[in-house]
Every structure is written in C-alpha cells, then in structure tokens.
Chains A and B, each alone.
Chain A
Amino acid sequence: MMIKAYRFIKARDYLMRAVFMLCAAFSILALACICVFLFVSGIPFIGRIGFSNFFGTTWHVDSQAYGILSMIVTSLYLTALATFIGVTTGLLTAICLFRFCPKRLIPSIRQMVNLLAGIPSVIYGLFGLIIIVPFLRDYVSPNSIGFGLLAASLVVSIMILPTIVSVSLDALNAVPRSYYEGSLALGATSEQSVFKVVVPAARSGILAAVVLAIGRAIGETMAVIMVIGNSPVMPHGLFQSVRTMTANIALGAKELGGDAATALVSTGVVLFIFTLLLNISFNLLRGGEKREKKRTQKTDT
C-alpha cells in the first residue's frame, strides 16, 4: 500500500519535471521557429532577385526593384541620432537624480518615470504627429516639411528616455557608497566624485542602458511610421520624408502580396540580424567585463 503511494508520488514527480522541462524548452523552440521561418522564406528570395537588387537603392514594387539600402541607412541614422539624444539627456538626468537634486523629489520623479516607461509607443507616435511635426514644420524646418529624421529621432528619444533614466539610475545606485565617500575623503568635491568616480564605476550598467536604447530605437515601428514620412529614398537631410526598415515592413504588410510580401520578410531578416548582432556584441562585452572583474578580484586577494 505504502509502496504503491510512494510509486505514485515518484511518477508524479517525474511527470511534472517533464512538463516543466517542456515549458522551458518552448522558448528555445519558439526562437528556433522564428529563425527558421524568417530565414527559409527571406534568404532564398534575396538570392533569387539578386544581391545587388536587394541591397540597391531603388524600392519600386511595380518594376520589381526591391532595394532596401536607403532604408538600412535611414534606420542606422535614426538609431544613432535617437540614441545620442536619448542617452545624453537620460544619463545626465539620472546623474542629477542620483546626487544633485532635492532628496524629497526623488521618489515621486522615479515613480513618474517608471509609469511613463509603460506608455505605448503608438501614443508617442501620435504625440509626434500632432505636436512635434507641426512645430518643426512651422518654426524649425528650412523647407517647411515637418516629417523626417529629426521628428522621428525626437519622438524615439523621448520614448526611450524613461528606460535609460531608470536603468542608469539603478547602475549609479549600485556603485558602493564607499567609492563616493573615499573620493570625498581624498579632497575631491562632490561633483568631481560623481563624474570621475561613480559614473566610471557604473559604466557596465550604463552600457546596458545604451544597448537597450539602441535595440528599441532600431526596432521601433509605430512611433516612427507616423512621423518619418515613409518615402523610400536615401536620406539627405533631417527634414525629408524617408523610410526605415521597420516602417517598410509595417506599411507593406496589408497591401502587398506575392514577391513584394516576401521582400518584406527579407527586410525583416536584415533587421533581425542587426538585433542579433547587437545582442551578441553586448553579451561579449559584458562577458569581457565579468572576466576582467574576476581577474582584478584575484589579484586583490
């Protein structure tokens, strides 16, 4: 009797273990499926229409020109610009919240920033469409076009701001207080200690914030599509209608069929490869940093 019950429990343990394992394996399966489906339908297409066509500069579906080079360039410009604006402002904001702002304001500002991090990207896009684009058109743009790289970069940088602030603030807070105090004890001012000691010590966390920002900027679709104008041409200025890879995919999604739809998948493959490269290089960087830390710890002891 007892043995039977014991066997039942044992069997249940094995069964549940298998179930949990399957759940865990699902993530691997999903990732594998995404890779297989994208690559199987995207890569052969690039081979078929020719490498030079696909990485050319003309996107004209009717004449079967599927060149996405201009969109790759636009995506990279947008990412660079938005990350630059967002990270500079966000990092400086985090430093200010870390040491240079009245203590009692900090909790409420943090809470606000966390809340704003959850705002859907499409709302930022709408904000860009009804506020930023008309403003740029009327007051800033030399050719009275509001759409373009600048509008998109501003929208995306505002969108990624809360994430950057909270991730880099966490990184700054994770630096042991003794670093700061030690620097003060050596005669540095509070500002010098923050900029020369605490910020460099938090660099791996700040790097994580930058990588997050780049990832979100290059993959952002809805906020960009509403403010960038969406003409598939090479970007030559900040106020000119251009199109990113993400916008290309989203725009064609419902209209195009056949070859053109496959061209969208291939665009997705290129985007996917960009994000994979970003993740891999970040992991390598982080791995290097960890090893470095271990080494310094060893030499310490």
Chain B
Amino acid sequence: MKKNAHKRQILKFAVLKNITRAALLVSLIALVSVVAFILIRGLPHINMQLLFGEYTSRSPSLLPAITGTLYIIVISILIAAPIGIGSAIYLTEYTNSKSRLIRIVRIAVETLAGIPSIVYGIFGYLVFVVALGFRYSLIGGGMTLAIMILPVIVRSTEESLLAVPLALREGSFALGSSKVRTIFSVVLPCAASGIVTSLILAIGRVISESAALLMTIGMVVNKVPENFASPGTSLALNVYYFGSHGYPEEAAATAVVLLVLVMSINILATALGKFFGKGELAHG
C-alpha cells in the first residue's frame, strides 16, 4: 500500500518533468516563430527605395524614420548619459548606503523604472508638447525618452562602479589623490567597459520604444525632419503606422530592419562585455 503511494508520487513528478520539457518546446517555438515569420514576411520587401528612397504614398520609404531615430538616439543619450552616470557616481562613491537621500534616490529610480512607457508619453505630451510649447518635435520625444532610460543607465552604471575593487580607490587615496581625481582617473576608467555596455543597451531601449514617442513626436512618416525641433517619426513608430494604415508588407520590412538593428546592438553589448571582462581579469 505504502509502496504504491510512493511509486505514484515518483510517477507524478516524472510527468511534471516532461511537462516542463513541453513548456520549453512551446516557448522556443513561440519565440522562434515570431522572428521567423517577421523575416519571412519582411525580407522580400526590403529594397533601396524602401530604405533610402523618396517618400510617396505608393512607395513609402524609411528615410524619415531612420533620420528621426538617429536624432532621438543622440538627444536622449546626450541628456541621460551624463545625468545617469553622475547619479551612479553619487550613489556609489559619496555616501554610505544608509543616508536618507540615497534611499530616496533609490526608491525614485526604482519607481521610474516601473512606470509604463505610455505614461512617460503623457508626461512628455503635457510638459514638452503643451507646457513648454515645443509642439510635436523630435527634441520633446528625445527628452521624454531620456527620462525613461535614466533608470536603466543609473542601475547598470552603478553595478559596474561597484565592481571596481575598493583597494584601487584606497591605493589612489594613499598616493595623495583627491576624491575627484580618484573618481575620474581610477574608478571611471576601470568601469568604462561596463558603462559603455549600459549606454549601448540604453540605445537599444530608445530604438525599441514607440508608445512614448507616439504622443510626443507626431508620427510624421512622409517628411525627413529638418532639425531637432521638427516633428518626425522613428522606425518602431513606422512599424505601427504601416501595420495599422494598410501597408502590411512595408510594416514587416520595417520590422526586419528594426529587428536586425536591435539584435546587432544587443550582440555588440554582450560581445563588448565579454571582451572587456576578459581584459579586466588579465589585469587583476
């Protein structure tokens, strides 16, 4: 009797094990099919006209979106990188973790990271489009995204700063360097690879984002933006626009471009991390 129950239990868990295998299979199929179907649908429709041609309603082009995306990357990284790295330095180098300001900053960063991007979109709309009078513009969108990627940069920069051994700082102090000198000539160079990786990942976030931009840059898909203040579009936004305005082939082709871009950025970040990781080991 008892033996039977034991056997049944073992059997039950063996079944569970196979259920997990089925789940793995389902996950892999689902994820691979996303990439595969986008590639199958999109690749045949990529051509020079789509990528760099003149925009007409019969044959749309991605040139406005590519220009817009570049503008937004530049604006958001230029704003978010110094502020993010600065706050990470303050959080790791200046105070003990029990100080009240640090606790509040940490809570703020965590909360910012949890806010949905559409809420950032509303904020950007209220502040940049309406209150500051930028109208729909690339600069408003870039600033909105800068706030959005700030938590990403702060967190990962903090991690790479914490990974710099304390002994290096102490050695620098012992040689008579000031705090600022230690930070700029010892800590930051040591953490450079990690910081660069975090910036690359932040660029990936910027490229992928569409909801916050929908409300701030105007989604003008047919005109190449002239400067920072003009309205525009981005690649991710174009996928939505083409998909919901009756251009399914163009949408899929744009998605392929976006996919390749994001994937290569992530691969670059991973490769950099690995490359520098090895270098640091050799030094240490």
Contact = CB atoms under 8 A, between A and B. Distances in A.
Contacts of A121: 208, 210-211
Interface string B23-49: 110111011011101100100000000
A30 B255 contact: no
B31 A253 contact: no
**A-side interface mostly:** helix
A123 B239 contact: yes
Nearest to A191: B13
Nearest to B125: A253
Nearest to B109: A27
Given A9-B181, A123-B259, 19 more contacts: A13-B178, A24-B91, A30-B108, A93-B20, A100-B17, A101-B24, A114-B266, A116-B31, A118-B263, A120-B209, A123-B34, A129-B243, A130-B41, A215-B116, A222-B240, A264-B122, A268-B119, A272-B115, A275-B119
B204 interface: yes
B239 A122 contact: yes
Contact of B210 (A37, A101, A120, A219): A120
B110 interface: yes
A294 interface: no
Contacts, number: 270
A126 B38 contact: yes
Interface in A261-301: 264-265, 268, 271-272, 275-276, 278-279, 283
B127 to A, nearest CB: 6
Contact of B114 (A113, A225, A275): A275
A125 B211 CA distance: 12
Contacts of B33: 131
A24 B27 contact: no
B23 A92 contact: yes
Given A97-B24, A118-B266, A161 B204 contact: no
Interface residues of A, number: 84
A122 B236 CA distance: 7
A19 interface: yes
A126 B252 contact: yes
B118 A192 contact: no
Contacts of B282: none
A155 to B, nearest CB: 9
Contacts of A100: 17, 20-21
A24 B86 contact: yes
B97 interface: no
Interface in A212-244: 215, 218-222, 225-226
19 contacts: A16-B179, A22-B86, A23-B83, A23-B87, A24-B102, A33-B127, A34-B147, A38-B126, A100-B17, A111-B270, A114-B266, A118-B263, A119-B262, A122-B208, A161-B30, A195-B13, A221-B117, A250-B214, A279-B110
Contacts of B66: none
Interface of B: 9-10, 13-14, 16-17, 19-24, 26-28, 30-31, 33-35, 37-38, 41, 82-87, 89-91, 93-94, 101-102, 104-105, 108-112, 114-123, 125-127, 131, 147, 150-151, 154, 178-181, 183, 204, 207-211, 214-215, 218-219, 236-237, 239-240, 243-244, 248, 251-252, 255, 258-259, 262-263, 265-267, 270
A13 B179 contact: yes
Interface in A88-126: 88-90, 92-93, 95-97, 100-101, 109, 111-116, 118-126
A30 B147 contact: yes
A268 B31 contact: no
A222 B27 contact: no
A17 B243 CA distance: 49
Contact of B215 (A25, A101, A253, A283): A253
B52 to A, nearest CB: 22
A24 B240 contact: no
B3 to A, nearest CB: 14
A41 interface: yes
A99 to B, nearest CB: 8
Nearest to B239: A122
B10 A96 contact: no
Contact of B34 (A26, A95, A158, A246): A158
Central interface residue in A21, A22, A254, by most chain B CB within 10 Å: A21
Central interface residue in A89, A118, A250, A272, by most chain B CB within 10 Å: A118
Contacts of A254: 214, 218-219
Contacts of B86: 19-20, 22-24
Contacts of A38: 119, 122-123, 126
B149 to A, nearest CB: 12
A275 B112 CA distance: 10
A165 B122 contact: no
Given A24-B87, A127-B38, A189-B10, A95 B267 contact: no
A161 B120 CA distance: 24
8 cross-chain pairs, A with B, having the tightest CB-CB distances, nearest first? A219-B116, A23-B86, A92-B23, A120-B208, A191-B13, A96-B20, A20-B90, A221-B211
Central interface residue in B154, B214, B218, by most chain A CB within 10 Å: B214
B65 to A, nearest CB: 12
B20 A92 contact: yes
Contact of A158 (B31, B243, B251): B31
Contacts of A283: 110
A146 interface: no
